Chain A
Amino acid sequence: GENVEQHPSTLSVQEGDSAVIKCTYSDSASNYFPWYKQELGKRPQLIIDIRSNVGEKKDQRIAVTLNKTAKHFSLHITETQPEDSAVYFCAARGGKLIFGQGTELSVKP
């Protein structure tokens, strides 16, 4: 069935360092890949998304890359700040939106 694997499950970085979260998906029909940030007790918030017609997208300190051949996509956060600490979810949509298991990012000042 459709599946999205996300790694790592936890990630701790120093303020100012970069953070990378990786996901793989199984459904080759997937064409839309959003990333959500969820702070404790709050709703998931869309931070960036990419569609299968492009390989990379950037928005200030956040970038996402997509490798359709390998069925991989990644989130890159540069110059991390303490307020980036949260759980990040990747997702892939073929027929329905399938989420990864989440990455708990901790940015230490």
Chain B
Amino acid sequence: DAGVTQSPTHLIKTRGQHVTLRCSPISGHKSVSWYQQVLGQGPQFIFQYYEKEERGRGNFPDRFSARQFPNYSSELNVNALLLGDSALYLCASSQDWPGRGALFSTDTQYFGPGTRLTVL
């Protein structure tokens, strides 16, 4: 049973460029969330998608965008890259979305290996 997969594993870009990161959730999972983890800190929430709709957004600028496809895979796009965007980008999948059932929903999140983005 495959876990969450992400591509690419590493990426080097220069300031001002654009990047697309990809995520495939665990089979049967319909929700994907994206996180940014700067070295030495906890993951910071960027987006959550469920059934191809955005269900939550963190405090990130409009340069960050995402989408979810009919097969539940997802892309994270970052435009006009800044040095401060250098981080590990993590994708997490869950069966469900907490808004549907709150206390008892199947919303445990499982993380992918991440994409290490370096902006020079």
> Which residues of A are at the interface with B, using a C-beta cutoff of 8 A?
4, 6, 31-32, 34, 36, 42-46, 49, 51-53, 89, 91, 93, 95-102
Contacts and interface: CB of A to CB of B under 8 A. Distances in A.
Given A32-B98, A89-B43, A96 B56 contact: yes
Contacts of A51: 103-104
Interface in B97-118: 98, 102-104, 107-114
Give the top 8 A-B pairs by smallest Cβ distance, nearest first. A99-B42, A43-B111, A96-B45, A96-B56, A44-B111, A43-B113, A89-B42, A99-B43
B95 interface: no
Contacts of A102: 40-42
Nearest to B45: A96
B44 A99 contact: yes
Given A89-B42, A89-B43, A96-B56, A43 B112 contact: yes
B42 A97 contact: no
Contacts of A49: 108
A51 B104 CA distance: 8
B9 to A, nearest CB: 11
A96 B48 contact: yes
A69 B113 CA distance: 36
Interface of B: 33, 40-45, 48, 56, 58, 90, 98, 102-104, 107-114
Given A32-B98, A43-B90, A100 B42 contact: yes
B15 to A, nearest CB: 25
B107 A32 contact: yes
A42 B112 CA distance: 9
A103 to B, nearest CB: 10
B90 A97 contact: no
B114 A97 contact: no
Given A43-B90, A101-B42, A34 B109 contact: yes
Contacts of B112: 43
Nearest to A43: B111
B114 A43 contact: yes
Contacts of B42: 4, 6, 89, 91, 99-102
Contacts of A43: 90, 111-114
